[in-house]
Amino acid sequence: MSESIDYTQLEDTELVARSKDQDMQAYEELVARHRDKIYARAFSMMRNEEEALDMSQEAWVKGWQRLNQFHGQASFATWMTRITINLCLDLIRKKKRQRAESIEQLDDDLGGVERQMDVVETNPTEGLERQELRAKIDRALDQLSEAHRTAIVMHEFQQLEYKEIAKRMNCSIGTVMSRLFYARRRLASLLAGLKKKDEL
């Protein structure tokens, strides 16, 4: 007699265990639960709906194939977002190679300008509603270089440490620190600018 399971009532850990036993319905439930988060992370990296969709779909396929490597040290959602970030990084690198342009080159181009930026001491986001702030951050992220945006996404949204980011971005910890620094200063400046514009 086959048992009827209500997958929506199961915890992620139980769904993961069942998925490891090739239960596709359990995996479908995991996809349904976390697909928006995975898509949002892919979008933060790629800034393009089509690529974000492709990357999130590929991440879920990879997730299924690598389920046996997931041992529950982090949450399933965190593990999935890491797969997504790695796939996005691969695509970004591939695109860079196609354009015959290195991330380092972009950094050099932007670094010089940002070094001259003033420190924004006042809080550029003061008084903003959470959702409003997120929308502003999203618009500002659009204006960062891929290298700076990637560093911000990995540090601020994925909460990865410097050395982990360096490993994934294939660069030194010093480079990660300077990318984060310039990215934050540029974001602060962009957010302050967006706030002023909205106040007019």
Partner 1 sequence: MELETQLSIQALIDGELSDAKQREVEQLIATDAGAKALHTGLSNTVGALRGGELERQLPESREFFWSKIADEIELSERREARAQARPAASVALWKRLLLPFAAAAALVLAFTVFQNEGPQVVRPINDNPGVESVADTELELPESLIFDMYQEDATVIWVNSETGVN
Query: Given candidates 15, 16, 26, 39, which one binds partner 1 under the rule CB under 8 A?
Result: 39
Residue selected from 110, 155, 166, 169 as contacting partner 1 according to rule CB under 8 A: 155
- Pick one of 67, 137, 151, 166: the residue that binds partner 1 (CB under 8 A): 137
> Binder to partner 1 among 102, 138, 170, 172 (CB under 8 A)?
138
State both tokens at 35: 């697909």
CB of 8 to partner 1, least distance (A): 12
The nearer residue to partner 1, 16 or 124, going by C-beta atoms, is 124
Structure tokens at 11: 């915890």
By the rule CB under 8 A, 84 interacts with partner 1: no
120 binds partner 1 (CB under 8 A): yes
Residue number with CB closer to partner 1 (24 or 97): 24
105 phi/psi in degrees, rounded to 5? -60, -45
* Residue written as token pair 């990879």: 62
In angstroms, give the least distance from the CB of 95 to partner 1: 21
Nearest Cα to Cα of residue 146 among 41, 44, 54:
44
Question: In three state form, how does the secondary structure of 4-53 look?
Answer: CCCHHHCCHHHHHHHHHCCCHHHHHHHHHHHHHHHHHHHHHHHCCHHHHH
Q: Are the CB atoms for 26 and 64 separated by under 8 Å?
A: no
Please, which residue, 32 or 101, has the CB nearer to partner 1? 32
**CB of 169 within 8 A of CB of 151?**
yes
CB atoms within 10 A of CB 184: 16
- Write out the DSSP string of 50-104: HHHHHHHHHHHHHHHHTGGG--SSS-HHHHHHHHHHHHHHHHHHHHHHHTT--HH
Binding mask 53-82 for partner 1 (x = CB under 8 A): x--xxx-xx--xx-----------------
Task: Tell me which residues touch partner 1 (CB under 8 A).
Answer: 24, 28, 31-32, 35-36, 39-41, 43-44, 49, 53, 56-58, 60-61, 64-65, 115, 119-125, 130, 133-135, 137-138, 152-153, 155-157, 161-162, 174, 177-178, 180-181, 184-185, 187-188, 191
